[in-house]
Amino acid sequence: MKTTTIFIASCLACSVAAAEGDYRAEAIAMMKRDFKPRGIATLDRLAEDGVQAVCNRSGNHPPKDIAERLEKDQMETIRYPADGKYMGDWKAGEKLAQNGRGMAWNDKAGVPGGGSCYNCHQIGPGETSFGTIGPSLYQFGKQRGNGPDMQKYVYARIYNGKAFSLCSAMPRFGYVHALSEAQIKDLVALLLDPESPVNSK
């Protein structure tokens, strides 16, 4: 009797897993079939890299030792500015943070887009709306300081946030070339410059 119950339970678990596997494969096949490359939006956008695969298959909770090892790999992808300077122009950074355009099929290759930071973060006072997927960045520099270590941290976070939190929802802006070195510096200034609206009262 006991054996039968276990048998049925495990069989149910098996078929659920199999069905989930099929849905994933089906969804990927559907995207590959229906997405057509146009302009700069080529099919490589559908390719899952190793880190995304680990996060997607583990519900964003991979085993700790694997997460730590892969975060170290992600850290090594970060290219810091050759001039050792992390702070650009906060005014340019403010425009970037509020600009969600870019990487559309009809954009020209290499034309810099926005950072769309407002989609996930509160940035400063006076915003009409902002998303809350990420923490509020209002008063960031005031609360965290703006010395060299903090500047480097913010640069790295924007370049590749998966170096700090493997399954972070934040896009890897530098790593995927969505933002240039100069643009990331402008965003570092936006978050850390005492004159920036992020750090205003």
Q: Which residues bind ligand HEC (CB under 6 A)?
A: 97, 115-117, 119-121, 133-135, 137, 154, 157-158, 161, 165, 168-171, 173, 187, 191
Buried b (16+ CB within 10 A) or exposed e, 38-58: eebeeeeeeeeeebeebbeee
Closest CA to 138 of 153, 120, 125, 147: 125
Distance in Å, CB of 53 to ligand HEC, minimum: 18
107 vs 165, beta carbon nearer ligand HEC = 165
Closest CA to 155 of 59, 86, 57: 86
Distance in Å, CB of 100 to ligand HEC, minimum: 9
10 vs 180, beta carbon nearer ligand HEC = 180
d(CA 90, CA 88): 6
54 vs 158, beta carbon nearer ligand HEC = 158
Distance in Å, CB of 170 to ligand HEC, minimum: 4
Neighbours of 152 (CB within 10 A): 16
Distance in Å, CB of 25 to ligand HEC, minimum: 26
